[in-house]
Amino acid sequence: FPVTILFELDNGILGVSGSYPDLFLKIQLKVLELCHTKLGFREARARVIGDNIPALFLHKRCGLRKAEVLKHMVPDGRDVIIMSTVL
């Protein structure tokens, strides 16, 4: 049966802009690689608030694509976008 493990890559860097170029990209790519090579996962999914353009762009750069839109899923009525990729 499928197992779901969640991890958050959010609010990790607050402070000086440009201090560590592409750090979140490198972290996410490494986590995805480890999920596949060490844990044997075949798919990764991300949940992103629909208007969080930086997060959507980051996930896209890591190979995730929009799989589903959940309308009005947060208290203020914003959508949640589910993104996924095959590992």
**pLDDT value at residue 66:** 97
* Per-residue pLDDT reduced to its tens digit, 4-43: 666 666 655 555 566 777 888 898 999 999 999 998 888 9
* Per-residue pLDDT reduced to its tens digit, 43-77: 999 999 999 998 899 999 999 999 999 999 999 99
Any idea what DSSP says for residue 37? H
In this prediction the pTM is 0.81
Q: Which residue is associated with the tokens 């959507």?
A: 56
Q: How far apart are CA 86 and CA 18, in angstroms?
A: 30
Helix, coil or strand: residue 68:
strand
Determine what percent of the chain falls in helix, strand and coil, rounding each to the nearest 5. Answer: 30, 25, 50
